[in-house]
Amino acid sequence: MRMRRHKSEWKLTMKPITYDNAPDHVRAVFDDIKMARKVPDVNNFWKYLANEPRMLKHVWDSLKDVMGPGHLDPLTKELIYVAVSVTNNCDYCMASHGAAARAKGATDEMMNELFAVVGLANMTNRLANAYKVPVDDAFK
């Protein structure tokens, strides 16, 4: 009975791409992130996403465009990001956007109230499903 190839023959997890070993087009995105966010280095998220340079660029272009000043203030947008990340149980995203919310002024009281709203919404979402509540005419 022939055994399958040994695991060391393939690379199982992606490694982060650091600035020093990044190709030029990745480094250009890293530079733009550092400049826009006034940070000395990019977060782990960007270093891993750099394994797919197309998405690195698209995701950054989108976030830069949408998360900055706009129709909602930047703090509100970070809170929304945290709300989605808690609902989906994404540890990294809770940590990074939680930190971003803090940096933009979120207090403990605001974070606690955010968690309360997220918990309640997840509950009432299922209660509305369970009872198959028809949409009120007033909401149409």
Site for a copy of itself in 31-90 (CB under 8 A): 35, 37-40, 43-45, 48-49, 51-52, 54-55, 58-59, 61-63, 65-67, 70-72, 76-77, 79-81, 83-90
Both tokens of residue 38? 């006034």
- For a copy of itself (CB under 8 A), the number of binding residues is 93
Instruction: Provide the minimum distance between the beta carbon of 24 and a copy of itself in the complex, in angstroms, as a whole number.
Output: 18
Return the residues of window 107-136 that contact a copy of itself according to CB under 8 A. 107-136
Instruction: Provide the minimum distance between the beta carbon of 27 and a copy of itself in the complex, in angstroms, as a whole number.
Output: 17
Q: Comparing C-alpha atoms, which of 73, 75, 60, 79 is closest to residue 117?
A: 79
Both tokens of residue 68? 């900055």
Q: Comparing C-alpha atoms, which of 56, 24, 25, 62 is closest to residue 43?
A: 56
Q: How many CB atoms lie within 10 A of CB 94?
A: 17
